[in-house]
Amino acid sequence: LKVAVGKKESVVEMDYKYLSKINSPLDLKNLSSEELYLLAGEIREEIILTVMKNGGHLASNLGAVELTLALLYVFDVPNDIIIWDVSHNVYTYKLLTGRRDSFSTIRQYNGLSGYSEKKEGLYDPFTVGHAGTSISTALGVLCGDEILDKKRKIIAVIGDGGITTGLSYEAINNCRQLGKRLLVILNDNAMSISPTVGALSRYLSELRVSPIYEELRKEVHTVLEKTKIGGLMESSVEKLKTSIKASLNVNIFTALGFEYFGVIDGHNIPLLIKMLKNLKNIQRPVLLHITTKKGKGYKDAEANPVMFHSVSTPREKSSSQGLSYTQVFGSAICRLAQKDKRIVAITAAMADGTGLVEFSKRFPDRFFDVGICEQHAVALASGLAFGGARPIVAIYSTFLQRAYDQIFQEASLQNLPIIFMMDRSGLVGEDGPTHHGVFDIAYLRLYPNIILMAPKDAGELEKMLEFALTLKCPVAIRYPKTEAPDLSKYTTSDEKIKLGKAEILAGGGDITFLAYGSMVKIALDAGEILAQDGIKVQIVNGRFAKPIDAELIGELLQKQNLVITIEEHTIVGGFGAAVLEEGIRRGWNLQKIKVWGIQDRFVTHGARDILLREIGLDAKGLAEGVKSILQKI
Ligand SMILES: Cc1ncc(C[n+]2csc(CCOP(=O)(O)OP(=O)(O)O)c2C)c(N)n1
């Protein structure tokens, strides 16, 4: 163990016998099986040490070490292309594809991404973090290659969670039609974040316990070859072979046009290498089914893969004293469900992340985990609402994007009372641009009938949920991945939630901060900073992005010089844009309105407070921004 003192903090750098010498996948090719296993051990050590420091997807990565080694051993990456579904399990891949020296920066601001990231070079062909896209994109690359006469191999690696997405089947369906030589590896660990749910997962477990194929097929082949020598007509032997093979091979994947191989042990390196070498040149769609253990090699993670799916940073752990918005929602929905049996909860494979575990235990008949199927979740909610139930759909802001059309047709067009609880709205921090929830106001605001709200604090989240249940239309409530503050002491007006009404908080003066959701606290803090410089600011909690409180904003604009809208969201089509649009309709003096939010670009990864600082959405940045605006007017 070598202790090196980095610029910002002290880091522990390990001197590894094998890993330290792997600078590119080529360096793997001369290693023996024993050496590859020793290397796997070192990789695990490095991943565990780093994740304990930086947070990240521990269990999934520990399960994919041998698979990654075998893939890089057999294929010629980056010429050949590996597309990792979700790509939360690419840590080994990063370590072996020239990023070992920067691996200690993974998920940190200015460091490596925790996912496949195009900006990091040719080894990462796509930037991804959402599940279920790998087979589609891999097929697309292959189709393009055929047109352009490129001969490289394309491999999609997808988990048993990822393969429950509808998109995967759309792609598989299309593979048969296009007849492409795609290799899909199904990395089956029987877990999504929680145990994989649904009929498909049961089906995969049946395949796992009857791994008949390889051995049996070999035996059949040998017997038939012997029979041939025994004098049977060659064409009859071929026919017999085909029909026996077909009867051995019928499963969901073969029925959909894939050659199916497996189930094989995904931690057995020589077997994986042998299998991949055999499959490398097959000119048809092939699915290789492997089984792996989530958390492999780290006892705690093996025993509790749900907890170790994603590990928080030590900083997140130590700084959280109060309840998160997620926890506040989790308790509130249970309290309300106790009184109202129409309430049902829906999650798309994120019971833990959305705070629904307690609900699932207390109200199992009213809890629906649909798997990684956001579109289905919303359409299911529509049916439930149609029948009189009150569905509460808890999906992260970024993943709800997947269900955009169902929000349009199944929720908004039907005007059904579905409540969307959009956790992780705003900047999520270390997971970065694939996970930041910064588009939901814009993508929901344009649909008729929908109501959009965001609470300033814990108490308001509960009130908004209660209020949403009184409405007879779709409602979406956004809240961030943070602790929920208590800002009740700032309330000066009626605390009751009224449709389309904002709330006046502390302060006074010539300027208004019209803040939405998570930005109310930032606005209050910025107001205090500005007060020290003698600049007085009126703080208003916007509460609704649709409908906005046009009456109040109109009054404020008459009395004041400046109204600054503030949101943790893109300025394109967001809360501020809604205010400006209303201003155009009403003939307000638009010069007096400034929109403060995220510029029209993707925000990188890193601790949430660092990111907020970078884009000027922290109290200091806001205060500085106001001062510079004041200097110009
Ligand atoms: C569209 C979408 N919904 C939800 C998620 C959150 N998510 C990240 S990983 C994961 C589980 C993936 O399970 P699996 O593919 O089996 O991989 P494993 O972690 O088990 O290796 C989920 C639900 C996501 N990334 N994308």
d(CA 601, CA 358): 37
Is 260 close to ligand 1, i.e. is its CB under 6 Å away?
no
pLDDT value of position 236: 63
Whether the predicted pLDDT of 324 surpasses 80 = yes
Q: DSSP state, 490?
A: G
Is 86 close to ligand 1, i.e. is its CB under 6 Å away?
yes
**138: closest CA among 117, 112, 167?**
167
Q: DSSP state, 142?
A: H
Q: Which helix (H) or strand (E) holds 622?
A: helix 619-632
Q: Of ligand 1's atoms, which has the minimum distance to the CA of residue 402?
A: 1
Is 608 close to ligand 1, i.e. is its CB under 6 Å away?
no
Average pLDDT of the residues in 515-535: 96
Q: Which two tokens stand for residue 87?
A: 């790509």
Is 56 close to ligand 1, i.e. is its CB under 6 Å away?
no
pLDDT in tens, 560-576: 989 999 999 999 999 99
Nearest CA to ligand 1 atom 4: 372
d(CA 65, CA 62): 6
Mean pLDDT of the chain: 91
Is 372 close to ligand 1, i.e. is its CB under 6 Å away?
yes
Nearest CA to ligand 1 atom 25: 130
Q: Which two tokens stand for residue 82?
A: 């590996």
Residue with tokens 């449709």: 499
CA 255 from centre of chain: 30
d(CA 141, CA 367): 39
Whether the predicted pLDDT of 430 surpasses 70 = yes
Is 305 close to ligand 1, i.e. is its CB under 6 Å away?
no
pLDDT in tens, 83-142: 999 999 999 999 999 999 999 999 999 999 999 999 999 999 999 999 999 999 999 999
Whether the predicted pLDDT of 310 surpasses 90 = no
Whether the predicted pLDDT of 60 surpasses 80 = yes
3-state secondary structure (DSSP) of residue 475: strand
Q: Of ligand 1's atoms, which has the minimum distance to the CA of residue 165?
A: 1
Mutate to test the pocket of ligand 1, among 60, 66, 68, 86 (most ligand atoms within 8 A of CB): 86
Catalytic residue among 53, 180, 241, 402: 402
Please count the other Cβ atoms lying within 10 Å of the Cβ belonging to residue 226.
10
Q: What would the DSSP string read from start to end of 370-409?
A: --S-HHHHHHHHHHHHHTT-EEEEE--HHHHGGGHHHIII
Whether the predicted pLDDT of 397 surpasses 50 = yes
Is 397 close to ligand 1, i.e. is its CB under 6 Å away?
no
Confidence of residue 233 (pLDDT cuts 50, 70, 90): low
Q: Of ligand 1's atoms, which has the minimum distance to the CA of residue 160?
A: 16
- What proportion of the chain, given as a percentage, has pLDDT over 70? 91
Catalytic residue among 117, 374, 410, 567: 374
Average pLDDT of the residues in 236-256: 70
Q: Of ligand 1's atoms, which has the minimum distance to the CA of residue 353?
A: 6
- Asked if residues 187 and 160 have their Cβ atoms less than 8 Å apart, the reply is yes
Distance 160 CA to ligand 1 centre (A): 9
pLDDT value of position 633: 78
- Exposure on the CB side of residue 373, measured as CA atoms within 13 A: 22
Distance 88 CA to ligand 1 centre (A): 8
pLDDT in tens, 469-509: 999 999 999 999 999 999 999 887 667 899 999 999 987 88
Is residue 206 annotated as part of the catalytic site, yes or no?
A: no
- Phi then psi for residue 58, to 5 deg, are -75, -55
Is 373 close to ligand 1, i.e. is its CB under 6 Å away?
no
Whether the predicted pLDDT of 67 surpasses 50 = yes
pLDDT value of position 191: 85
Distance 131 CA to ligand 1 centre (A): 6
Q: Of ligand 1's atoms, which has the minimum distance to the CA of residue 64?
A: 21
Whether the predicted pLDDT of 212 surpasses 80 = no
pLDDT in tens, 253-294: 999 999 999 899 999 999 999 999 999 999 999 999 999 999
Catalytic residue among 53, 293, 294, 478: 294
pLDDT value of position 215: 52
Confidence of residue 9 (pLDDT cuts 50, 70, 90): very low
Burial call 429-461: b when 16+ CB within 10 Å, e when fewer: bbbbbbbbbbbbbbbbbebeebbbbbbbbbbbb
Confidence of residue 3 (pLDDT cuts 50, 70, 90): very low
Q: What's the whole-model pTM score? A: 0.92
Whether the predicted pLDDT of 550 surpasses 70 = yes
Is 89 close to ligand 1, i.e. is its CB under 6 Å away?
yes
Is residue 294 annotated as part of the catalytic site, yes or no?
A: yes
Whether the predicted pLDDT of 247 surpasses 60 = no
Whether the predicted pLDDT of 213 surpasses 60 = no
pLDDT value of position 413: 98
- Asked if residues 564 and 513 have their Cβ atoms less than 8 Å apart, the reply is yes
Whether the predicted pLDDT of 76 surpasses 50 = yes
Whether the predicted pLDDT of 351 surpasses 90 = yes
d(CA 260, CA 262): 7
Average pLDDT of the residues in 208-213: 59
Average pLDDT of the residues in 423-451: 98
pLDDT value of position 4: 36
| β-pair partners for 478 | 422
Q: What would the DSSP string read from start to end of 153-217?
A: -EEEEEETTGGGSHHHHHHHHHHHHHT---EEEEEE-SBSSSB--SHHHHHHHHHHH---HHHHH
- Phi then psi for residue 4, to 5 deg, are -110, 140
Whether the predicted pLDDT of 8 surpasses 50 = no
Average pLDDT of the residues in 621-629: 95
Residue with tokens 């599940």: 131
3-state secondary structure (DSSP) of residue 323: coil
Is residue 117 annotated as part of the catalytic site, yes or no?
A: no
Is 193 close to ligand 1, i.e. is its CB under 6 Å away?
yes
pLDDT value of position 7: 37
